[in-house]
Structure 1
Amino acid sequence: MKILFITRGFKPAIGGTETYINELYDNLSKKHEIICIVHSNPKRKEQDNIFQINSLKTKNRTVSFLHFIINSIKIALKQKFDVIHANTEISGLSGIFIKFFKGKPLVTTIHDTGFIRFNPQWSWFGRASRRILKKIVCKFSNKVITVSPGVKNQLVRFLGVSNKNIEVIPYGLDTHKFNLRIRGNIRKKLNIKNKFLILFVGMLYPKKGLEYLIESLYNLSKKFSKFKLVLVGMEIYPGYKQKLIDLVDRFKLNDKIIFAGSVSYKEIPKWYIASDVFVLPSIDTEGLSLTCLEAGACGKPVVASTILEDTNAVLRNKTALIVRPRNVNDLTENLLKLIKNKKLRYELGHNGRKYSENFSWVKTSKKTEEIYINLNGGKN
């Protein structure tokens, strides 16, 4: 079977949606021929089956999206394939046109429902547009994949998507890559051998609630000073990183916070192992946080907002301590609780490792492949 992937993010880029499509590609390309249409990346090696679309140098997200959609359609019309898989609703819009021009079935993965809660990343028009886009893409997709029951329920409740048209297939996890036996020299490299290391891994943008984390560390520093926060990830929302830097300056936390930037995915496990706790204080909807699962697989306790609890990425008081979104005091108190209680850190990390073993990219890929086969008339 020949499959067309449409995805703006692709290896070597890292992030939840990128890791998802990267792992599907690695698993399914062993058996099927896969063509990819992706955003260009200077670090990516040229491959005959990967078509790259140059990113526009513009701050206008709508123009950037339209540029990708139009060019992906042009490329796809020249290719032969049996099934289309669009990663996110932006790619799904391209997929709709390609579906009708080529007469091939469309599968779209919706990772989250960010239009529901207020998000400073989007204006009211942006949120309304995103909502309409998701609804259109879900309507015209032959099958919609969501990564958690929570996302499925929201699509049914808020967009009226048919329950029968949605398949829940959780993210997988490679527990061989993420485990307790990994060794690295991250602490030595950062010169923080004896500090309590708080880690964040992910894209730097408003949805992640990092400004509240920084403020909570100002409060924490009054009670405990031997800690470091390391932020691993690239900025994808213009101006947000500078906002965080300004906050660090304002609270005089320059010696306690490290912006590590983007790190290759194969190196990420070493950062988890080096840490004492992983924190994800999201303030807007998430799909299924891979980073929480990855941290757990490495035996690390997690502090996460209730938004992550809704996705099944963490279990309250079993793999993680749960805080309210935007609640600085909750963050401070729970981080301090873990700093003081080594036994609790061990218990949460131990449970996190066991819980992570329920997730497998092989299972995720197999279930996705079954959808392709059904839509392709049973042909493998």
Structure 2
Amino acid sequence: MHVAILVKEFPPDVIGGTETQTVRMARELAVESGHEVTVYTKSYPGPEPHEDVPFDLVRVPTWHYSPFVSTLTFVLAATLYLLGDARNIDVLQCMMIYPSGAVGYLVSRLTGLPYFAWIRGGDYYFAREVAFKRRLLATVFDDALVLVQTESVAEDVREEFPDATLGVLGNGVDIPDRVADGDAATFVGRLKHQKGVHNLVSAVDGLDEEVVIVGDGPEREYLERLADGVDADITFIGEVPPDRVPEYLLSSKLLVLPAVDGEGLPNVLLEAMAHGVPVVSTTVAGIPDVVQDGETGYVVPPDDVDALADRIRRVCEDDAHRAELADNARAFVESEYAWDRLLAELDDVYESVAG
């Protein structure tokens, strides 16, 4: 089967959870499942990066004068490219319902190409708050299958769009041979408000543990100033490539993901659990479906700094309890999110959508 995957951003230009997951998914679909795979994504200024990948990569022309112009030109160019290629494609997989799902709708209406969209997090939660984006969401929900990553996200969607046709399918994750045996309380992700790192900095005031913050973003300078005002050993690592994230997880005793909004199912959460690292996070979107409170980690309400601080200390200070959480977390991810399971379920989706 020829599978086309449409994703707005792609490494090395943007490295986030959706982008990292898309690269690995395309590789697994091509190598393990035997599909012909083509990924359509934005182009960026400068020399074209060299990608040594077992799938075709099409970078559509995109102007980057502003976020709006970038998104608009991506939608127009991706639509034109897919209109030209549609006769050779069996199914179109749109990573993010907005804006990729809107492209899928247009191309399907004009060519009959079967498609589905896959909500990743902020693409849905932020888009639904903007009137014209919400209308685009409704159009896709009325027209196609939309995958979500957890049952909690499905419930959120049904409250807003009760007639949506939904399926639940999470991310894939490798189960490494090694498990973590480190000492750090670690955060990995973009340093932007929705990640809640400001709450982490406040919560670890007075904590006698090493705190490592891996990632970069628009709030880094603010967070570094905030960290200067608390009594804690906080180290900012900066952005690291995806293949270096495991070394920081292996050096951790705890992953803290204090998201305040816009998350679907953060990939780093699954990676940490696969490495035997328990997680303290928040009751945002699909996170509680994976971080089962008191079993595989802890969840607290977003922006509740006192509760966040309490759970961080509880995990850090009780070695036996932390080991129990770590074992449960690894076993849960291995049973529910291994790549072979995801690929089998994704093949079922392709067969259902393509007919």
Contact map agreement 1:308 1:314 (CA 8 A) in 2: no
Cα deviation for residue 181 of structure 1 reads 4.8
Give the whole-Å Cα distance in 2 for the aligned partners of 1:364 and 1:149: 16
Q: Structure 1 length normalisation: TM-score? A: 0.81
Q: How many residues matched?
A: 344
Give the whole-Å Cα distance in 2 for the aligned partners of 1:304 and 1:182: 18
Contact map agreement 1:113 1:285 (CA 8 A) in 2: yes
Match of 1:91 in 2: 100
- In structure 2, the gaps of 5 or more residues are none
Matching of residue 229 in structure 1 with residue 220 in structure 2: no
Contact map agreement 2:256 2:280 (CA 8 A) in 1: yes
Match of 1:271 in 2: 248
Contact map agreement 1:87 1:109 (CA 8 A) in 2: yes
Q: CA RMSD in A?
A: 2.7
Match of 1:136 in 2: 139
Match of 2:58 in 1: 51
Contact map agreement 1:115 1:130 (CA 8 A) in 2: no
Where do 1:88-237 residues align within 5 Å?
88-89=96-97, 90-112=99-121, 127-141=130-144, 143-162=145-164, 165-175=165-175, 178-181=176-179, 196-218=183-205, 221=206, 224-225=207-208, 227-235=209-217
Contact map agreement 1:111 1:151 (CA 8 A) in 2: no
Cα deviation for residue 309 of structure 1 reads 6.6
Match of 2:5 in 1: 5
1:329–1:362: structure 2 CA closer, same or farther, 3 Å change rule?
same
Contact map agreement 1:155 1:161 (CA 8 A) in 2: no
Match of 2:281 in 1: 304
Cα deviation for residue 25 of structure 1 reads 0.8
Cα deviation for residue 356 of structure 1 reads 1.3
The one of 310, 314, 337 aligned to 2:314: 337
Contact map agreement 2:152 2:285 (CA 8 A) in 1: no
Percent identity at matched positions?
25
SS of alignment partner, residue 284 of structure 1: coil
1:74–1:353: structure 2 CA closer, same or farther, 3 Å change rule?
same
Contact map agreement 1:115 1:128 (CA 8 A) in 2: no
- In structure 1, the gaps of 5 or more residues are 188-195
Matching of residue 361 in structure 1 with residue 339 in structure 2: yes
SS of alignment partner, residue 212 of structure 1: helix
Matching of residue 370 in structure 1 with residue 352 in structure 2: no
Match of 2:224 in 1: 245
Contact map agreement 2:117 2:146 (CA 8 A) in 1: yes
Cα deviation for residue 351 of structure 1 reads 1.1
